[in-house]
Chain A
């Protein structure tokens, strides 16, 4: 075996070992590195009240209500499997709206309502001109269809 081939095998073996170690680390991090809890995670794993977390999901259409004091809003966050009510007092980002993504920082109160101290808007991977707004979108095929 030529020295060149020895080095090639050594390098490839080392590379495979490194990638294996990286994948192991990443899979171990899978839950810990999640940036937010989805409502279903909250339901299945349970989050104790008062623990500071981020809650992420979609704002349920028709759930956004403004309280009488004008600065507090109430809305429901869903991931399709579970829904969690949330409140927030303050200025929400421009992209925060019903039917759109949100990441809320805060904690649950004793009654199961998420009290957010900060709101971040999460948008999806679609970009399109305004004329196409409101068309329904198939996430797996990226196809757009006019809604009827």
Chain B
């Protein structure tokens, strides 16, 4: 991992990789969404409403996956002092928050016609909303520490921010298990190690959108990492100039 401690070496790989993730990701998620809208059959119970699944599930996956990434980056920052870890954590936060918000919104839109409510305080929904607030807190902490310049050489995330990222990871298994531990309005997990209770004829576009959104998420993170690195470089140069 420390091979990439040198930003120049990281950028040499990140630049071409961005395009390789961005365009295939976009193509896959568009194909998956189109197939989910027009090709798959309607659900026996929910009818056409079920099609929101193809956006809702990838959004939930990336919202939770994003925070897992933040926690790993935080660990690498705190333990190994990896110079890119903080940059990665900060880069993941905004798209992670965005996908969490998309998950909550699509869930709400889905809940109205199926359950008969926009919002209920059950375990799954509440813990997912907590995740969104965690993201907002992380972004605020990261921005504040970057502005105050406490983080020279750390890419703009203080150790306090990293600890917050690590602590917040407790919420991820809680979200995952919330429908198993507690009675909830949200149904239990459909896809488990034992198999899928989503019939194959409805399942396959989900694979496409999951992979597509994930690749796209990776591309967004790389773009943001490159932007943060460029910004750090500009700021360092400005400081040198100011000192004369």
Contacts and interface: CB of A to CB of B under 8 A. Distances in A.
Interface of A: 4, 7-8, 11, 14-15, 18-19, 21-22, 26, 30, 33-38, 56, 92-96, 100, 103, 119-133, 137, 140-142, 144
Interface string B171-208: 00010000001111101111000111111011100000
Nearest to B126: A33
Interface in B91-136: 113-117, 120-123
Most buried by B among A37, A103, A119, A131: A103
B42 interface: yes
Interface residues of B, number: 44
A113 to B, nearest CB: 21
Main secondary structure of the interface of A (DSSP, over half): mixed
A126 B114 contact: no
B171 to A, nearest CB: 8
Contacts of B141: none
A18 B74 CA distance: 15
Task: Find the residue from A34, A142, A144 having the highest chain B CB count within 10 A.
Answer: A142
Given A126-B198, A142-B196, A56 B183 contact: yes
B185 A122 contact: yes
Given A11-B75, A56-B183, A130 B194 contact: no
Contacts of A11: 75, 78-79, 166
Contacts of B44: 128-130, 132-133
A142 B197 contact: yes
Interface of B: 41-46, 50, 53, 75, 78-81, 113-117, 120-123, 166-167, 170, 174, 181-185, 187-190, 194-199, 201-203
B123 A35 contact: yes
Contact of A120 (B42, B46, B116, B181): B116
Tell me the dominant secondary structure on chain B's binding face.
Answer: loop
Given A7-B78, A120-B120, A133-B44, 7 more contacts: A15-B166, A121-B116, A122-B115, A124-B188, A126-B197, A126-B198, A140-B194
A35 B185 contact: yes
A22 B41 CA distance: 42
Contacts, number: 128
B19 to A, nearest CB: 35
A34 B120 CA distance: 12
A54 B87 CA distance: 46
Contacts of A33: 123, 181-182
Contacts of B196: 142
10 contacts: A18-B167, A35-B184, A35-B185, A37-B183, A94-B113, A94-B116, A120-B117, A124-B188, A127-B197, A129-B202
A127 B183 contact: no
Given A33-B182, A35-B182, A129 B198 contact: no
A4 B79 contact: yes
Contacts of B194: 140-142
Q: Please provide the 3 A-B residue pairs with the shortest distance between their CB atoms, ordered closest to farther.
A: A93-B116, A129-B41, A128-B199
Contact of A121 (B53, B115, B184): B115
A133 B47 CA distance: 12
Contacts of A7: 78-79
A35 B122 contact: yes
A127 B198 CA distance: 5
Given A4-B80, A120-B116, A127-B50, A132 B183 contact: no
A108 B24 CA distance: 56
A135 B70 CA distance: 43
Contacts of B198: 126-128
